[in-house]
Structure 1
Amino acid sequence: MEYQFYPFFYFPPTTMQVRAIILYNYQGQKRILPFKLGQVNIITGESETGKSSIINILDYCTGRSTFKMFKAEGVNIGVVAWYAVLLQIGWMQVLVAKPTPKGQNRSQKEGYIDKGLFLQLPELKDLRVNTNDDGIDSELSNLIGIAPNKALSPTKTGQDPAQASLQHTKYFLFQNQNLVSSPEHLFWRQSDPKIGRHLRDSLHYFLGADQDERWEKEKRLAHYKKGLQKLEASNRLLEAQRATQSQSMRTMLLQAQQVGLVGGLVPDAELLPTLRGLLTWEASSTLTTVAVANSPLEQERQRARELNRDFREKLREIEEAEEYRRQADGFATSIEQHTDRLRAVHVFDQDSTHAEQCPLCSQTMGSPPPSVAALTTSLARMQANLGGVRRERPQLEQYITQLNNQLEDLREARRLAEDRVKALQQEQDAGGRLRDLELRASRVVGRIESYLEQLQLVDDNAELQQRIENGKKIIEDLEAEIGSEDVTEIIETSLALVSAYMTPWAKVLNMRYAGLPHRLDPRNLTVVAAQGRGITMEDMGGGSNALGCHLITLVALHRFFIKNKKPVPGLLVLDQPSQVYFPSLEAYKTILDGTVRDVSVAGGDVAAVQRMFAYLFKRVKELSPDLQLIVTEHANLDTLDYQQALVEDPWVGGRGLIPQEWITAMPPAVDPVEE
């Protein structure tokens, strides 16, 4: 049958929901699966009828290239030519369609898109490629209100931040059969190692953290730091060359002093002129006698000993600084743990008139606990202490780096001093053998002459040092700006609102740790029930508790998105959530034969199943018309709400997503949509 539109007085959702899934076979026939906007939609039926393909079709048609229907239950790709979804975005209707990949290809990027206030479904012959997945993603992202952004952190150094789009909202829209009650993973595609980082960034973005400028500044900061490192390396090379050149001149001068050509100390600025003046020396020149006790060799030995002492002292300073850094890290970790425990205070009423009354059970307590205000004060103090440690960390790191640079300078100076001692010792030994002081002097002059002929003076590095100072100032300013744009407070405030929904809902679903504050952990992407260090979703035990964590988290996030007008589709798709309430998957699959049956016949927990659906119906009604819920199930409850939510008659006895007559018909030899 042709798709029926809602009457003119229908008030649409403020964001994206699904009006229908449409399949086209190669003969041009359409299979239309309609959905009600802003309500609960339930598809129930036997196994292998196509229920679990709903998520894959929605994902594929809204801009994902990967084709997941090769082995999907009940989806015979040999008869489906095009997959399509009809979307409602505010007052706008959008049709997106994509053909089945050719041959055995596992992906396909081309598609068709059309939009208008009222759309008529096109015929197969009218479906022609007019866009691709990037175009689909861009168009839908724009329609739901995702502005151009740089919300996703770069995956590699030097890359630009990526843009959050409709694709990144899907983490919060889909829960397939293997995910909906998983204790290890909470969000769609979280198990994909390539997704984790952008999933966290997306969560922050849709919770209200605007990090566009932050990523841009961090990119600039990395660029300037890399440039500064190059400048400092060049400067160190020039300084080393200058020091080596100066030490070479000093060694030449010391050799001249040993043979009496020069007497007394010579400043560094006079080294080169003094050496050049020695080239005029003649054999008849008067030689100066050098006292052995104060000889250049003995002076250099003393200098080498002093450098060795300074080197050991610098090593000690570095060890002390690194020990202080380890202690600071330990202190910060301890403060963070205390802070996490104290944040639970935000779920209590701070009205002092109820200080002796339990905020959870309303009973009077024998020993009233510390006031919420006192706990809040303690939390603020700890956060201030933690902020102080974080602010001191860059200065500590810079101090340790300076110490290491000074250590390297001492190491080089020590080596040069040892080289000079060795050279002077060799010169002294040679002088003892020559016995002719004049001959030794002549030899030194010849060596100085040869050295000066090959000498290439190191350029002045004043301009380079000025560039280094400018770079340090720019980096310092950028780090200060980034530090002042801390998004932690924004995220914590948003998560506190989400947790305020989750905690009472845990009690509604009769979860194991109901009564304890439940919160979303954005770092580890899991749910934590606060008690001591906290009990994570993975440690709560039982599939029903994991399912409860998924339901309270996803619905709480959607409530936050809707109330705060975040650009996330008002859509949640759950694939067979009631399976956890049955003794086995096989028992769960036997509960439908086309009639309404009592789930207790298959050993199911009737009360738990009814409690779950009552929770879902109530939450959707509270958020109507901005939340649409699609549930696929084997269960078929004999309740009014459940039966009214059925999209179609149960998929049994040959009924399913693909019409039986399509499957039995002979597919054409040639693909009619192939150009």
Structure 2
Amino acid sequence: MYLQIREIVLWPRNPSFEPRRLQFELGKVNVISGASRTGKSAVIPIIDYCLGAGTCSIPVKTIRKYCEWFGIVVATAQGDKLLARREPGAQRSTDDMYLLEAERIKDIPHRIAKNINADAVKRLLDELAGLSKLDFSGGSESTGFDSRPSFRDLAAFTFQPQNVVANPDVLFFKANTYEHREKLRKIFPYVLGVVTPALMAKQFELGRARQELRRKERELRDAQEVSARWLANLKAKFSEAQELGLIPKPEQELSRGQMIERLEEVVARTDLTLSVSSSTISNALRELSDLEVEERDVSRDLTTLRHRLGEMNRMRGGVDQYQAALVLQRGRLQLSSWLVSHTDDKADCPMCGSHTDSATRKLAVLSERLQEVEAEASVDKELPAAFDRELQRVTAEVEQVTERLRSVQIRKRALSGRSAEARQRQFAAQRAERFVGNLESALDLHRRLGSDRELVEEVVRLRERAQRLDAELREQDIEARKRRALRAISNNAGRLLPHLDVESPNDPISLEINDLTIKVHGQERDDYLSEIGSGSNWLSYHLAVLLALHQFFLSQRRGPIPAFLVLDQPSQVYFPKRIAALPKDEDGEDVEEPQLRDEDVNAVRKAFEVMGRVTREAAGGLQLIVLDHASHDVWGDIDGVVGLTEWRNGDKLVPMTWLTDV
């Protein structure tokens, strides 16, 4: 993404003063150097605030006291854009912003007023970066760390403030906070071009297909369960039809489809005659007796299973209680170790200093018991995984047997009621009419629930669609593409390290995006950045990896990362105090800086030479802004490196003339 800083603009509270303008050159290393407390470290918070930061980190007192608006002019592929934001006062931030767009902005308004808000500016920047509107969970709504990538997430690659530029534990801007670290881990494959908007759209489609498939499968299961319960009623209806003489007793057990076919024939008949007799009633009584035997058998099985399930649950609770008892006992005996640690040769009792053999023996017993309890507690008392599987199996079996018992009871109740009614009204034609009416309704319900061909076909279609999308995503091989991208970045950094002040310049390195740090692969062992000593190493690795990342971003066709990088005080590891805290003369001004060691100057100069070389190779595609105490004598005359007027002798970010009451 082509976005570079053309200038920084400050508007004074006093309208009689002109805005302060700091202009930078595009595609080069721009250096702002000067003494301490001149406002150099405020440049990163100003740029970040104008690009939509959630809070204002611009230093208070002088800068925020005498400035009413902060602004930046950025050069983009769509022309220049002036983004300004009001000083928030006592608030953490303000949404009041000003936007001016033109092919080339040369004149800055003397006074400005709000014409846009921060959210609109962030949407504008998202569009400039070409960021996907889909989130990482496959939707379009914010869902925590899975929310869609935003321009604000990309600030990690554009700023290296003073507390980060040579930090062994933190490699990226704001990665020291949990929220930013987790979101950065999430978006890293996206900014590397591994996960493209097209892939995100396909992942979104796959997520939707799987979600719809789960819903349809649940509906199908529910329909099948309803159909299973209906089967018990179906058998009862078939028996009732036999009692009424509507269907002859079959010679062999009929299948579900055959029973439905026979009952549908009953519904279709128009010449129904009742044939209730003692034989049909006897058949019903025999079936009732068989159902009672089946009910006893199923009840016995269910009782056994419930007893086993109860024992297993008690076993799980017993393990937890035993662990709790060990913890309690260990806590009570902990005092013995403290007493033993306070006894010496002069006294056995740490409280009164007396010699008592019995106390020593008792302490030894208590201490030995404590060791036994701690040894017992250290042994893993967790139940094996097979126990959980057995518990799930027994639970599922209890549910199945319970459902089987319920089906038997349904048939038994229906059969008992019909047998009594048949004896009372053997020849009642109305009974057959009501039965046929209920049977017709039941068959219609079964056709809608138990034989839903459309639902089955839709489940099959969704399953095939999910499998096809999953196969297409596997073909993309995201992990392999990620490895190739990280290998390219590591190679870029490896070419830069020999030109920097690093202890082992030829040891290969890798960027670990899961840990958000650097790993150095030595001959004997691999070390993370935090395990390596020396500030010069930390600075060199930071600089090499950040520059390597931007080289990689520039190689992408449409990368979302802005084409600038701001570094604050990279020379601090070499001379942090001699320039940072200069002595004052009698007039209160900084005295001339002391002579620096040649090896320190050479090391800093190496860093600037590498930065100049990278910007030259980018051919205007990358801009660096360096804020440093080092003077022109250190970094001057390096190709691709330019400097503003040094801020010394009263020249600061905020002009001294502004420091009047407003």
Superposition TM-score, scaled by structure 2 size: 0.67
The residue number in structure 1 matching 2:335 is none
The residue number in structure 1 matching 2:231 is 246
The 1:222–1:84 alpha-carbon spacing in structure 2 relative to 1, beyond 3 Å, is same
Question: Which residue identity is paired with 1:576?
Answer: Q
Structure 1: gaps (5+ residues): 1-13, 310-403, 432-437, 668-675
**Cα distance in 2, alignment partners of residues 17 and 424 from structure 1:** 80
The residue number in structure 2 matching 1:485 is 476
The equivalent position to 2:215 in structure 1, one of 212, 230, 250, is 230
Counterpart of 1:57 in 2: which secondary structure? Answer: helix
Mapped pair 1:178 → 2:163: yes
Mapped pair 1:631 → 2:623: no
Mapped pair 1:29 → 2:4: no
Contact kept, 8 Å, 2:233 with 2:410, in 1: the verdict is: no
Mapped pair 1:19 → 2:6: yes
The residue number in structure 1 matching 2:108 is 122
**Cα distance in 2, alignment partners of residues 548 and 414 from structure 1:** 70
**Cα distance in 2, alignment partners of residues 299 and 220 from structure 1:** 50
The equivalent position to 1:655 in structure 2, one of 645, 651, 654, is 651
Q: CA deviation at 1:571?
A: 1.8
Residues 109-188 of structure 1 mapped to structure 2, 5 A cutoff: 109-117=96-104, 119-125=105-111, 127-137=112-122, 146-147=129-130, 149-150=132-133, 153-154=136-137, 166-188=151-173
Question: Which residue identity is paired with 1:657?
Answer: L
**Cα distance in 2, alignment partners of residues 444 and 659 from structure 1:** 110
**Cα distance in 2, alignment partners of residues 154 and 179 from structure 1:** 31
**Cα distance in 2, alignment partners of residues 464 and 405 from structure 1:** 29
**Cα distance in 1, alignment partners of residues 30 and 651 from structure 2:** 18
The 1:304–1:80 alpha-carbon spacing in structure 2 relative to 1, beyond 3 Å, is same
The equivalent position to 2:540 in structure 1, one of 512, 533, 548, is 548
The 1:140–1:266 alpha-carbon spacing in structure 2 relative to 1, beyond 3 Å, is closer
Mapped pair 1:79 → 2:66: yes
Alignment RMSD: 4.9
Query: What CA deviation, in whole Å up to 9, does each residue of 1:2-58 have, x standing for no partner?
Result: xxxxxxxxxxxx943323222121324222223333333322334332111101111
The residue number in structure 2 matching 1:529 is 520
The residue number in structure 1 matching 2:565 is 572
Contact kept, 8 Å, 1:297 with 1:424, in 2: the verdict is: no
The equivalent position to 2:551 in structure 1, one of 529, 545, 559, is 559
The 1:443–1:479 alpha-carbon spacing in structure 2 relative to 1, beyond 3 Å, is farther
**Cα distance in 1, alignment partners of residues 407 and 2 from structure 2:** 79
**Cα distance in 2, alignment partners of residues 96 and 157 from structure 1:** 27
Q: CA deviation at 1:494?
A: 2.8
Question: Which residue identity is paired with 2:459?
Answer: I
Mapped pair 1:59 → 2:55: no
The 1:427–1:507 alpha-carbon spacing in structure 2 relative to 1, beyond 3 Å, is same
Q: If you compute each CA radius of gyration, which structure gives the higher value, 1 or 2?
A: 2
The residue number in structure 1 matching 2:383 is none
Q: CA deviation at 1:165?
A: 6.2
Contact kept, 8 Å, 1:600 with 1:606, in 2: the verdict is: yes
Q: CA deviation at 1:174?
A: 0.7
Counterpart of 1:238 in 2: which secondary structure? Answer: helix
Q: CA deviation at 1:658?
A: 0.9
**Cα distance in 2, alignment partners of residues 488 and 415 from structure 1:** 48
The residue number in structure 1 matching 2:332 is none
Contact kept, 8 Å, 1:300 with 1:420, in 2: the verdict is: no
**Cα distance in 2, alignment partners of residues 640 and 564 from structure 1:** 31
Mapped pair 1:50 → 2:50: no
**Cα distance in 1, alignment partners of residues 21 and 281 from structure 2:** 114
The residue number in structure 1 matching 2:355 is none
Contact kept, 8 Å, 2:141 with 2:147, in 1: the verdict is: no
Question: Which residue identity is paired with 1:24?
Answer: W
Question: Which residue identity is paired with 1:660?
Answer: M
Mapped pair 1:509 → 2:500: yes
Residues 10-409 of structure 1 mapped to structure 2, 5 A cutoff: 15-25=2-12, 26-27=14-15, 28-64=17-53, 66-69=55-58, 71-72=59-60, 75-89=62-76, 92-101=79-88, 104=91, 106-117=93-104, 119-125=105-111, 127-137=112-122, 146-147=129-130, 149-150=132-133, 153-154=136-137, 166-196=151-181, 198-200=183-185, 202-209=187-194, 211-250=196-235, 265-267=252-254, 268-269=256-257, 271=259, 280-283=275-278, 287=282
Question: Which residue identity is paired with 1:35?
Answer: F
**Cα distance in 1, alignment partners of residues 201 and 394 from structure 2:** 35
Query: What CA deviation, in whole Å up to 9, does each residue of 1:43-78 have, x standing for no partner?
Result: 233433211110111122234453222x34x74322
The 1:559–1:406 alpha-carbon spacing in structure 2 relative to 1, beyond 3 Å, is same
Contact kept, 8 Å, 2:83 with 2:99, in 1: the verdict is: yes
Question: Which residue identity is paired with 1:628?
Answer: Q
The equivalent position to 1:498 in structure 2, one of 483, 489, 501, is 489
Q: CA deviation at 1:192?
A: 4.2
Contact kept, 8 Å, 2:570 with 2:628, in 1: the verdict is: yes
Mapped pair 1:597 → 2:597: no
Question: Which residue identity is paired with 2:86?
Answer: P
Contact kept, 8 Å, 1:598 with 1:637, in 2: the verdict is: no
Query: What CA deviation, in whole Å up to 9, does each residue of 1:509-561 have, x standing for no partner?
Result: 34345332112223332212235884222333444333222111111122223
Contact kept, 8 Å, 2:134 with 2:140, in 1: the verdict is: no
Counterpart of 1:124 in 2: which secondary structure? Answer: coil
Q: Greater shift after overlay, 127-136 or 510-519?
A: 127-136
Q: CA deviation at 1:211?
A: 1.9
Superposition TM-score, scaled by structure 1 size: 0.66
Count of residues in Structure 1 that have an aligned counterpart in Structure 2: 541
**Cα distance in 1, alignment partners of residues 634 and 86 from structure 2:** 39
Contact kept, 8 Å, 1:180 with 1:575, in 2: the verdict is: yes
Q: CA deviation at 1:235?
A: 2.0
**Cα distance in 2, alignment partners of residues 158 and 554 from structure 1:** 31
Query: What CA deviation, in whole Å up to 9, does each residue of 1:450-508 have, x standing for no partner?
Result: 99997762332222222222222222222222222333343333322221121243343
**Cα distance in 2, alignment partners of residues 424 and 81 from structure 1:** 85
